[in-house]
Structure 1
Amino acid sequence: MKNSKSVVFKRQQYILKALKESKDVQVDDLAQQLKVSPTTIRRDLQIFEEKSIVNRFHGGARLLEGTLKEDPPLDTLSPKNISQKNAIAKYAADLIEDGDTIFMNSSSTTLLLLKYIKNKRVIIVTNNGSAVGTEKDPRVELILTGGEVYERKQSMVGEFALHTLSKITADKAFIGVGGISVKGGITTSVLQETAVNEMMLKRCQGPCFVLATTSKIGREHNFLSGSINKITTIITGKDADHDELLRLKEQGLEIIELDTLADAADS
């Protein structure tokens, strides 16, 4: 369908890639490359301006410095950061009960759940393509949403993924984030993943957990996945922004702060 979310997401991602590569883009050039009208491109750029990603000028737009930040791959993270992720995932895995159906999004922290779910019959529904090659307990049944593959993260996005999720009700949801704050909500660096995260939160009938290393607390990424009233609990480390955690608690969220180095050492 011409105006489907999938088409819009792909077009906007193309524009974002062009902005990252050249900093400035021209409306007419993008319209020609994408075979759409200049009005469509201007509308996309207006959306990006409202999200404080670009400054528009006559005939084009310029990327604002410091935007479109991306999280580094897991194998480039510091030992401390990796320890945090493992400790958070280990704690979260203990919250999963035998017989649960859970949603797990595409973050590297939620992927580590597969390492720690033991001796439980669990159905995991995920858009994380990397889950296929990750070792897991044989009692864990893995269901992939399918969809278009976003190459950098091997995540599955688009209308097919959303359709799959719309037919499933989960007992719990585990969502990794690019950032979370009272002001900015739940945010991510990948535009296409916002709709998937939103659908997971919508289709979960039980608690929704955000798994966030300390650097994600109080941080705002470019694209909104949902407001904080969609989640029940944040699991993070003890060194997270204390003031922001207080603000999140005041909104009714349960905050679990882990001694991540000690917890990871026990794993």
Structure 2
Amino acid sequence: MKRERAYIDERRRKLLEIVRNNQQIRIEELAVKLQVSMLTIRRDLQYLQDQKQLVCVRGGAAFPESESRNPEEAEDDERNRYQRLIARYAAEFVEEGDTLFVNSSANALQMLEYIRAANVTVITNNGLAVQAKYSRGVNLILTGGEVRHNRNVMAGDFAVRNLQTVYAGKAFLGCSGISAHTGLTTEAAGEVEINQLMIRNSGCEVYVLADYRKIGRESGFISAPVRSIRHLVTDEKAPAEAIAGLQATGVQIHQVHKGDFKE
């Protein structure tokens, strides 16, 4: 019994050290690093939160907020909050019986947690979707394909061939940047064709989810011209000039504010 207690204490000590070094980390990452089940990690996190040594956040853990946070940490927290609001807002466009494309974007994947419509089919190339929270009304289909380990993304010829045979009523896409001049861009060349197929096979009912740091930005590879985008869901901090430029092309702008939803 003493040996088991010592093992548990040592595991929790290592867990705290990992969280301290990463500021915020997801449950699945902790499970891999400590080589235990996600259920064990959740129990450890709950115990450590009860001891006020860390705080549980959605899908992971972080240290309690303090006045000593530097400006970069504060901005990350703000951006994460806006991304949650963007995902929640975007989920309201989903209707009963919809079939959706969701690309590799972490922000677009967050949307699944907030879908409340029934009989919704989500087709995605995001490998993390199997660990995402979603309601019983959501049916999840993975495109398959070559897994890009550094991003948990499925791409390549296999994913492309599968998507060529599927039509969805709506597409919800994240991006690295979006501007009136260049359109929708990504940093990953291998995901361009996937994004293009999702847009083409969604009947042009395309929703882009992008926080303020991506508005007006132009990244390395063009996924689609701006005329292919029907809706942009962003936040109140998005640059006004860039927003005006996108509106002038016919994109419908939806901006969330910090007080829009109770968290």
Give the TM-score of the pair, scaled to structure 1.
0.69
Amino acid at match of 1:189: E
What is the total number of aligned residue pairs between the two structures?
Answer: 191
C-alpha contact (below 8 Å) 1:90/1:113 kept by paired residues: yes
Query: Please, what is the CA RMSD of the aligned residues?
Result: 1.5
Amino acid at match of 1:238: E
- Measure, in 1, the Cα distance between the counterparts of 2:92 and 2:182: 29
C-alpha contact (below 8 Å) 1:88/1:211 kept by paired residues: yes
Gaps of 5+ in 2: 1-61, 63-72
- Measure, in 2, the Cα distance between the counterparts of 1:248 and 1:134: 31
Cα distance, 1:119 vs. partner? 4.5
Cα distance, 1:206 vs. partner? 4.9
In the alignment, what sits opposite 1:262?
259
| Structure-to-structure mapping, 1:148-167, within 5 angstroms | 148-167=146-165
In the alignment, what sits opposite 1:188?
186
Post-superposition Cα deviations, 1:145-172, rounded to whole Å, max 9, x if no partner, equal 0001111210110111111111111111
- Measure, in 2, the Cα distance between the counterparts of 1:224 and 1:231: 13
- Measure, in 2, the Cα distance between the counterparts of 1:178 and 1:152: 16
Cα distance, 1:134 vs. partner? 1.1
| Structure-to-structure mapping, 1:91-106, within 5 angstroms | 91-106=89-104
In the alignment, what sits opposite 2:248?
250
C-alpha contact (below 8 Å) 2:204/2:229 kept by paired residues: no
| Structure-to-structure mapping, 1:182-221, within 5 angstroms | 182-221=180-219
Cα distance, 1:263 vs. partner? 2.8
In the alignment, what sits opposite 1:115?
113
Post-superposition Cα deviations, 1:17-75, rounded to whole Å, max 9, x if no partner, equal xxxxxxxxxxxxxxxxxxxxxxxxxxxxxxxxxxxxxxxxxxxxxxxxxxxxxxxxxx8
Amino acid at match of 2:82: Q
Q: What percent of counterpart residues are identical?
A: 36
In the alignment, what sits opposite 2:236?
238
Out of 133, 149, 152, the residue aligned to residue 135 of structure 1 is: 133
Amino acid at match of 1:145: T
- Measure, in 1, the Cα distance between the counterparts of 2:101 and 2:172: 6
Give the TM-score of the pair, scaled to structure 2.
0.70
- Measure, in 2, the Cα distance between the counterparts of 1:181 and 1:206: 18
Out of 64, 84, 87, the residue aligned to residue 85 of structure 2 is: 87
- Measure, in 1, the Cα distance between the counterparts of 2:204 and 2:140: 19
Gaps of 5+ in 1: 1-74
C-alpha contact (below 8 Å) 2:204/2:228 kept by paired residues: no
Give the match's secondary structure for 1:78.
Answer: helix
C-alpha contact (below 8 Å) 1:170/1:206 kept by paired residues: no
After TM superposition, where is structure 1 displaced by more than 2 Å over at least 4 residues in a row? none
- Measure, in 1, the Cα distance between the counterparts of 2:215 and 2:133: 29
Rg: which structure is higher? 2
- Measure, in 1, the Cα distance between the counterparts of 2:217 and 2:148: 23
Structure ranking higher on relative contact order (CA contacts 8 Å, 6+ apart): 1
- Measure, in 2, the Cα distance between the counterparts of 1:253 and 1:138: 32
Cα distance, 1:93 vs. partner? 0.5
- Measure, in 1, the Cα distance between the counterparts of 2:169 and 2:158: 22
In the alignment, what sits opposite 2:221?
223
